[in-house]
Amino acid sequence: MRYRELGRTGLSVSEIGYGAWGLGQGAWVGADDDSGVRALRRALDLGVNFIDTARAYDRSERVVGRALRELPGGGDGVYVATKAGPKVPVSLAPSGLDVMDAFPGSHLRESLETSLRELGRDHVDLLQLHTWEDEWTGRGDWLETVEALKREGRIRFFGISVKDHQPENVLTLLRTGVLDAVQVIYNIFEQTPADALLPACAEYGVGVIGRVVLDEGALTGSIRPGVTFPEGDWRNWYFRDDRPARVEKRVDALVADLGIGVDELPSTALRFALAGQAVSTVIVGMRSLANVERNAAVADSPPLTTRELALLARHRWSKNFYS
């Protein structure tokens, strides 16, 4: 496993991080606590040392906490990031939601304390807001609470998990210097962060956590017409209607352009995200041992060449399947 600095934090994090949403057993159907612990423990054995979870991920924090407690030293040397969701869900709120409705300082503290109980830890290495509106910059009491939590040793660093496909919606806050890290959707199809956000992160020493680097499975080559998921799995909604056919067309063009097999696509997608400016780690959902080993093996792969990156730049695809 290779490691990179997370911005100016001084943390040396694994290039491949563990995205723990799927361990929650809510939106992603098919996991259980025992299999989740096994998958996470295998990732740690292979050198992964950065785990990203969230209050909103159902049982995820609890499973992460159990896996770490079973390790010698209780997971010393493993960095844990979690997220506090808004008090009022932004998706349900009227337009013009104020930051004091979404992230009052009291809510932020309460959310963190719940996370710490679930994780069985006395601090987290990175606390992130699970959404953000740049118009909130300079308003509310959330920043005072963040600074207090740092002084108290409850959090080490602070960041924003950027809203869906809106990488520009954090630039104002980023330029104030209060952020240690930004988490953003970045993959072969979603290349918009490279336009402004990634250069800004490099300029201000802000670490970048790439998420959805496999586009919820689209960049594994497994999404084809007729694909099915377990009942209740959120991917039935994400890949609804004609979306599998649209993905198939894009993926076929992509592998043909690169001259690779579909089985090589996941590795290529991870290496593309890791080639992004200021990217410190990419978090990948890995619920099976096979996927853990496949993704961790990317650390042994050479970086993409200039030619390959130029080819991949042509496959930018402006879409938002979350809508």
State residue 94's pLDDT score.
52
pLDDT band of 307, cuts 50, 70, 90: very high
Residue 217 has pLDDT above 70, yes or no: yes
Q: Which domain, by its residues, includes 23?
A: 11-313
Residue 56 included in any domain: yes
State residue 250's pLDDT score.
97
The whole-angstrom separation of Cα 216 and Cα 237 is 12
Number of domains comprising the chain = 1
* Residue of 276, 211, 273, 204 whose CA lies nearest to 8: 204
State residue 125's pLDDT score.
98
Residue 140 included in any domain: yes
State residue 299's pLDDT score.
85
222: its two tokens: 């497994």
Residue 220 included in any domain: yes
Residue 321 included in any domain: no
Residue 201 included in any domain: yes
Residue 106 has pLDDT above 80, yes or no: yes
Find the mean pLDDT for residues 1-7. 97
State residue 90's pLDDT score.
67
Residue 95 has pLDDT above 70, yes or no: no
Find the mean pLDDT for residues 203-209. 98
For the chain, give the longest Cα–Cα distance.
Answer: 54
State residue 309's pLDDT score.
97
Give the length of the chain: 323
Cα 230 to the chain's mean position, in Å?
A: 23
226-268 tens-digit pLDDT: 999 999 999 999 999 999 999 999 999 999 999 999 999 999 9
32-83 tens-digit pLDDT: 999 999 999 999 999 999 999 999 999 999 999 999 999 888 888 999 999 9
Residue 191 has pLDDT above 60, yes or no: yes
Residue 282 has pLDDT above 70, yes or no: yes
Contact present, 189 and 212 (Cβ < 8 Å) = no
For residues 149 and 96, which has the higher predicted lDDT (pLDDT)? 149
Find the mean pLDDT for residues 201-229. 96
Output the domain CATH number for residue 271: 3.20.20.100
The whole-angstrom separation of Cα 98 and Cα 228 is 39
State residue 73's pLDDT score.
85
pLDDT band of 88, cuts 50, 70, 90: confident
State residue 131's pLDDT score.
93
Residue 6 included in any domain: no
The whole-angstrom separation of Cα 182 and Cα 201 is 8
Find the mean pLDDT for residues 3-27. 96
State residue 89's pLDDT score.
75
Residue 189 included in any domain: yes
Residue 93 has pLDDT above 60, yes or no: no
* Alpha helices in 171-264, H assignment, sequence order: 171-174, 197-204, 235-238, 243-258
Residue 222 included in any domain: yes
State residue 30's pLDDT score.
87
Find the mean pLDDT for residues 96-109. 91
Compute the radius of gyration of the chain from its Cα atoms: 19
